[in-house]
Amino acid sequence: MTIRAASLLTLCLYLVGCAEPSAEKMLENYVSRVSNALDQPIEFKPNTSARLPAFPLRRERLLEIVPIREGLLDVLEFRQCDLLPLISERNSNLGRVMQPSQQLRYELRFLPALYDCRRQLMEDQHDNSSIFINRVNEIIAHKERELPKLIWNSIYTSSEMEQQFSLAKTALPLESQGRISDIEIALNAFIQISELTQLSEWPEPKIAKDIETYYEILYRNASGGEWLKSLDWLTYTLNQVADGIEARLNRRAVCFNQQPNNQSAIIRNVFLNFYAGELQPYLSQVHQFGERWLSGHERILKNLPLPDAMQEYQQKVLSKTHSHGVWQAYVQARDRHTLAWQQLLNQCGMLPSAPIVLDDSA
């Protein structure tokens, strides 16, 4: 081997050795450490796609919007409300192919403009105005009926929101503090928009002009999909380790009469350095991210209709209380894992005086 080749090999090994550790490697190492300490085989073969349901296809998520009756908007009377430019914008070639964000922006401008038009007509009535006022009222009633479906379509059929549910992502990094904050900016904006469906009349929201910004946030920060993978891998890992500890305790006692021994010293080292030192901080971050991410979606969805295809997905992925949902599966795995460690440490008289806690929510 030449000096240059040897130098390149050394550099490559150095770069590999200094690469930032991933969540998967940390979890795999944790399982390996517990397995070795217990002298108990524990398998680690996570496979997210086998356990997490896929986000429904876009065509299955799309709600049908009933169009305004033909000719209802095709009247010159709207000139007196300065609405013809806005109506023409929607009926133009570009208006017919608006992206979800643009459709939402348009409706957030159009309905308040209709409210203003109605007030103007009511304040300045003349002999022929009643027919036009009735037409405006009919359009407003139609728009208000369809608004929840339009908001749903604009948010949850957008490619930007799809990024939040993609299972093609990697897990959250080991240092994930703050990653939810950006997403919450967008989710909070969509919460405000969904809450418009509960109002009888409202002005154009101030956030409407920045609507594209919130979609861009979702596009650039796809941490929702990363969180789904993290939660799934954690659930799998916690159950695997609990299986291993339980199997080891059932095989034979690690310690007799709660007297520590050489093996228990190794177990205690694994507990302190790899459970408390590495797993717990990561689990806490994932837990906090999930609390806030799920809460944001819950507050949006409570004001909107869900397509049939989304009903089951919402229960399994976005509900914190559904018995067969991913969150409850994680909570059960966490509690089972904690109990297994408590039993193991107690058998050797090493149970900490403070209870073992795996997240900051307790």
Write down the pLDDT at residue 362. 43
Residue 68 class from Cβ within 10 Å (0-12 exposed, 13-18 middle, 19+ buried)?
Answer: middle
Q: Are 101 and 215 in contact (CB under 8 A)?
A: yes
Q: What does the pLDDT read at residue 47?
A: 76
Is the per-residue pLDDT at 129 higher than 70? yes
CA proximity to 313, closest of 22, 54, 103: 54
Q: State mean pLDDT over 94-105.
A: 82
356 versus 317: the higher-pLDDT residue is 317
Which range, of 13-22, 71-80, 190-199, 245-254, averages the lowest pLDDT?
A: 13-22
What are the Cα distances from residue 214, in Å, to 82, 208, 295?
A: 29, 10, 17
| Mean pLDDT in residue range 198-227 | 94
Higher pLDDT, 70 or 351: 351
Dist. CA 235–CA 238, nearest whole Å: 5
Q: Is 7's pLDDT higher than 70?
A: no
pLDDT of residue 177: 81
Average pLDDT, the chain: 88
- pTM for this one? 0.87
Q: Is the dihedral of CA 88, 89, 95, 98 positive or negative?
A: negative
Has residue 83 got a pLDDT over 90? no
Q: How far apart are CA 313 and CA 212, in angstroms?
A: 27
- C-alpha triplet 98, 103, 108: angle, nearest 5°: 150
Residue 73 has what pLDDT?
63
